Amino acid sequence: MTTSARGRVIGIGIAAVTALVLSSCASNDASAPKTSSAASDTAPASTTAATDSSASTAPSSPAGSSTSTGGTVPKGEPDVNGDGKVVIGVLSPGDINDNGYYESFVSSAETYAKARHWTVIKRGNVPANDALNAARALCRLKVDMVALGAGELANAIPASEEAVCANTAWYVPSSANIKQAPKIVLSTDDPNQDLLAAGYAAGLLMKANNQTKAGFVTGIKADFSVLGAKAFKAGIKEIVPNASLITSYTGDFNDSAKAKEATQAQISQGAKVIYPYLGGATDASAILAQQNNVLTLTPGTDRCSSTSPKFAISVIFDPGQYFLAALQAFNAGTLAMGVEKVWQMGKDPFPTVKMCQGTAAQKAQLADFIKKIGDGTIDPKAEVAKLGG
C-alpha cells in the first residue's frame, strides 16, 4: 500500500451454466482472495451530461457524496466494446496477495464480477515503467474496463486515448499528480483526514496507557508518505500533546526484512504504538510488534477480526470498496468518464477509522471526532499544518 496508491465502495446474474473465468497476465494471481466485499448494488448518485454521439447520458458516479458532476458515459456499459461479454482488466503495482491494500482492490472486483459472470484479468507487481505497455496488453484482450490498482501506474493513462484502447472505460485511484482526462474516472480521498483520525485513535490508546512515543514505518520517502507521518503525528498530539513520533523509511513497501528491521529499531527506542504504513510487508511488521506487546494499525482495510497479526485500529481507506462502488455504477450503465469522485470522511462510509480495541467511551470519542471532520468543525489540513515544517 501507498498513499499515492490511494491517491486513494467501496442483481445476481442468471443461473450459471458456465463458471467465471479468472485469468491472470502474471504469476501474482490472487486465486483465493482472503478479503471480500459485499456484492449488493447500491444506487449510484451523481450526474453526467454527455453530448458525444458514442455515449449515453444517464446519471452517474459511485454512491456517496461527490465534488464533481458531468462527464461522459461510454455507450453500452458495462459491455463497452459490444462483444457480448464483460471483461474487467486490473493492473496493480503491488502484491495482490498482500492481505491488505492491494489485495482488497482485486478481491472486490472478483466478488462482484463472479455474481455477474464477468471475467476478471489481473496482473500484480506491475512496474511503473511498464504500466503503459501492460495497459495496452489488457486492451488487446478486449477488456471493457482498465482499472489501475494504484496511482503509481499513472503512466498507463495515455493508452486511454489510443486506438488500441478504444471502447474501454478506465478507473483510476487519484493522487495529486494525476490530471483529469476525458476517458478516465478518478476516485480519491484526502489522506489528511484518515491519517489524522488514525493518530487520534492511537492517541486515545496511548493516553490510557500513559504512553508518549509512537512509530511510523513506511516505504519510500515521498510527499505522500511524509504527509502521512505528519498527519498521524498531528492526530496523536490532539490527545497526547507531548507525544513524539519515530518515522522510518525503508525504501520498499513490500520488503518484509527491511520492515522488520525498522520495526525492531522503533521498539528498541520505546515506541508503544507502531503504524506499518506498508504494502506486502505490513504483516511482518505487525507480527513483530505484537510479539513485543506493541499496538499496530492497518494501512487501508478493516482487519479487526484478524488474530495473526492482531490490530488495535483499522484505518480504512479501502480501495476495494471505492472500486466496488464504481463497478456498481458500471453495471448500471451510469459510470461516467471525465469526472472525479472525492470520498469524504464523516460523510461517506469510507474513509473511516475503527478501533478494534478500546473502551466504549474511547470509540464514542473517535466517532465524534470523525463526525466533526465530516461537518467541517475540524479541518484536518489546518490541524496538520499546526505542526509546521
Q: 42: burial class by Cβ within 10 Å (0-12, 13-18, 19+)?
A: middle
Whether residues 35 and 129 fall in one domain: yes
Q: What is the CATH number of the domain that holds 88?
A: 3.40.50.2300
Provide the residue count of the chain: 389
Contacts of 241 (CB under 8 A, 6+ apart): none
Q: Give pLDDT tens digits for 169-201.
A: 999 987 666 889 999 999 989 999 999 999 999
Q: Please check whether residues 247 and 176 belong to one and the same domain.
A: no
* Tens of each residue's pLDDT in the chain, 389 residues: 443 444 332 221 222 222 222 233 333 433 222 333 333 333 333 322 232 333 333 333 333 333 345 789 999 999 999 999 999 999 999 888 876 678 888 887 889 999 999 999 999 999 999 999 999 999 999 999 999 998 889 999 999 999 999 999 999 987 666 889 999 999 989 999 999 999 999 999 999 999 999 999 999 998 889 999 999 999 999 999 999 999 999 999 989 999 999 999 999 999 999 999 998 899 999 999 999 999 999 998 899 999 999 999 999 988 888 999 999 999 999 999 999 989 999 999 999 999 999 999 999 999 999 999 999 999 999 999 998 76
Question: Do 95 and 224 fall within a single domain?
Answer: no
Cell numbers linked to 351: 474513509
Whether residue 60 sits in one domain with residue 148? yes
Amino acid at 310: K
Same domain, 229 and 363: yes
- For residues 281 and 339, membership in a common domain is answered with no
Strand order in the sheet with 185-189: 22-24, 119-123, 87-91, 145-148, 169-173, 185-189, 339-343
Q: How many domains does the chain have?
A: 2
127 and 92 fall within a common domain:
yes
Contact 64, 324 (CB under 8 A): no
Give the pLDDT of residue 261.
98
Nearest 5°: phi and psi at 87? -125, 125
Say whether pTM exceeds 0.85: no
Does residue 228 sit in the same domain as residue 326?
Answer: no
In contact, 154 and 137? CB cutoff 8 Å? no
pLDDT at 301: 87
> Residues 179, 256: one domain?
no
Note the pLDDT of residue 160.
97
| Cis bond before residue 241 (omega within 30° of 0) | no
- Written as one letter, the residue type at 262 is A
Q: Please check whether residue 212 is in contact with residue 243, taking contact to mean a CB–CB distance below 8 angstroms.
A: yes
Nearest Cα residue to 102 out of 131, 135, 138, 126? 126
Residues 126/74/4/178 CA torsion (nearest 10 deg): 110
Q: How far apart are CA 262 and CA 249, in angstroms?
A: 8
Residues 172 and 52 occupy one common structural domain: yes
Q: Quick one: how far is CA 30 from the chain centroid?
A: 17
Residue span of the structural domain in which 101 resides: 3-190+319-343
158/50 same-domain check: yes
Same domain assignment for residues 296 and 339: no
pLDDT tens-digit readout, 59-94: 333 333 333 457 899 999 999 999 999 999 999 998
